[in-house]
Structure 1
Amino acid sequence: MKTKIKQWTMLTIILMGFTVLGYNGYSQENQSDIKITKISELQNYTDSYIKGEVIKILDEDEFRLEDSSGNIKVYTGWKNTNVVKKGDKITVRGKVDPGIVKEFYATEIIKEDGEIIKLKSDE
């Protein structure tokens, strides 16, 4: 009887582990549910997703992203260097800071293969 209880306990633990792993993978934001904002329609300080192609690497933590409506400088933060390369097609979450140079401060990058990169804050 004890052997059966141990087997059921072990099976339950294993199934719970797979359930947690499956849930974490599934809970990632589904790209088809994301509302994409055109670069030309971005509003200052509003959390938005933009999608396009990396057309130029400006620095190890900055690049220029282009969509059909225009392009914008994207800042990933000094703790997040070299996360994309020229030619990458990506979706970026962040906010526009309209300072002297209009810049999109990224908080998350979703690569074409679905990989999600949560960017570390500069703070």
Structure 2
Amino acid sequence: MQTTKQKKVASVIRETLSEIFQRQNLSMVNGGMVTISEVAVSPDLLIAKVYLSLFQVKQPKEFMKELEKHSPELRHQLGNKIRNQVRRIPELHFYLDETMDQVFRLEEIFKQIKKSD
């Protein structure tokens, strides 16, 4: 269960990272789209788990590795924008959010079931 402070910090990080992604053209990669689906902050506010939803991105695992490599740079840019709102800038960890992929798979299964009826 996240505290109110965690939720506020997560919201600020999500909004600011979205802006950074748009400015650096990270929201459109390899003909696909990248969105930040969720940000979860640890209770001590020192670690932020950033869940990304990738839509039609070719080689998503390579993209995630590249993003992890640039995590310190993104953290620095984030810090420049939110340093007046947060005491310490959390370390960023990026994760692939596969929720939408699962939804699409389930929809396909339901379509097949409906056709067979």
Q: For this structure pair, what is the TM-score category when the shorter chain's length is used for normalisation?
A: under 0.3
Q: Which has the higher helix share?
A: 2
Q: Which has the higher strand share?
A: 1
Higher relative contact order (CA 8 A, sep 6+): 2
TM-score (norm 2): 0.25
